[in-house]
Every structure is written in C-alpha cells, then in structure tokens.
Amino acid sequence: MLDDSEVVSQFDRNYARPVSEGEVREKVGLTYHHVNVDDLEHDDEFNKLKKEMGITYQDNVVISPSSMPNYEDKLKIFFCEHLHADDEIRLVKDGSGYFDIRDDHDNWLRIWVQKGDLITLPAGSYHRFTTDDKHFINAIRLFVGDPVWTPLNRPADDHFSRLEYLRKHPLNVVHAY
C-alpha cells in the first residue's frame, strides 16, 4: 500500500502553477497535439502526424488496479523521477493521469492528460507519471525506432540525452556553494 504522504503528493491537483502550452513547449520542450481517438485507424490526421513524427512502433497499455498486477508497486516506479534516452510519446485513448516534468527552475510542472491528448516528453527531460484519483488510463505508447522504455532514475546528469536536452533547454537555477 502507498502510505499517506505518497498519496497526498500524487493526487493533490493544486500544487502546480498554471502554465500555457506555449510556455511548456518553450521551456521544457514538451509538445502537445489533440487527436480524435474514437476512430484512430481511419484518422488521416493521426496517420499524418505519426508520419511527421517518424513513429515506427506503437502498443497499448492500460494502467489500473484490475489490469496491472502489482499496481501499487508499478505506480511507485512510474512516480520515481527519471529520464529516457528517447522521447516518451503517449496518446490517451481513455481515462486520465498526470505527467510531471521539471521546468527550467527545476520545479515540477504537472500536466493532466485526458482522452485525446498526445504528448511528447523530450529525451533527457526529468519526469514522472501517476494515475489520478480515478486510477485508470488507457494509452498508446508510440516510439521512433526500436522501443526502449528503460527509465534512468535521477541523478542521470551525465547521460548523453541529459546533456543534449540541457543544450536546448538550459536550467535557470543559481546554485549556492
């Protein structure tokens, strides 16, 4: 079971400040598209978007207590701050959840994703995921190239993807020594 402090930190909808889509794109490189998920196979827009993004692989994941053995343990892993060598691209078919990503001040930005939201968290960005209080999300995982889902938990500051990410999205943090 999650203890109370973890539950509060994951499900408090009010701890993040409101930000615009443009600010998120500029400061952390997160991109967003809306997709009509009711008829995906015949959605020309979605197929065009996948082509533009270079998507070569996709699969489906359902995160909920009934679909996922060891749901609470999995949530703890998803909620541990990490990065990947590749972009993390998700399209929500149903349900909802939270992606948190570090901004240029190393504070959390919280993105509440719902049906039809397609987001890309850039390679090298520190982030984490959790379900919301409905405990259900059905999402398509999209990938460019061979799918590698390996999370590298923070600190992974010397990883090539982190260094590359920081070149495009420098931190605006003053360290006191």
Q: Give binding residues for Fe(2+) as ranges.
A: 82, 84, 88, 127
Segment contacting Fe ion by CB under 5 A, of 30-38, 56-64, 83-91, 106-114 = 83-91
For residues 165 and 125, is the Cβ–Cβ distance under 8 A?
A: yes
Judged by beta carbon, residue 88 or residue 103, the one nearer Fe ion is 88
Which of 12, 14, 169, 175 has its CA nearest to residue 103?
169
**Which of 88, 100, 103, 117 touches Fe ion by CB under 5 A?**
88
86 lies in the binding site for Fe ion (CB under 5 A): no
Segment contacting Fe ion by CB under 5 A, of 25-33, 49-57, 69-77, 85-93 = 85-93
Closest residue to Fe ion, Cβ-based? 88
For residues 97 and 174, is the Cβ–Cβ distance under 8 A?
A: no
Extract the annotated binding site for Ni(2+): 82, 84, 88, 127
CB of 128 to Fe ion, least distance (A): 7
Which of 101, 85, 97, 91 has its CA nearest to residue 142?
91
Phi-psi domain of 53 (left: phi exceeds 0; alpha: psi -120 through 50; beta: other): alpha
Q: What are phi and psi of 121, to 5 degrees?
A: -95, 120
For residue 43, the 8-state DSSP code is: -
Size of the site for Fe ion (CB under 5 A): 1
Neighbours of 131 (CB within 10 A): 22
100 lies in the binding site for Fe ion (CB under 5 A): no
CB of 6 to Fe ion, least distance (A): 18
87 lies in the binding site for Fe ion (CB under 5 A): no
For residues 86 and 162, is the Cβ–Cβ distance under 8 A?
A: no
Judged by beta carbon, residue 43 or residue 68, the one nearer Fe ion is 68
CB of 174 to Fe ion, least distance (A): 28
Interface residue list for Fe ion (CB under 5 A): 88
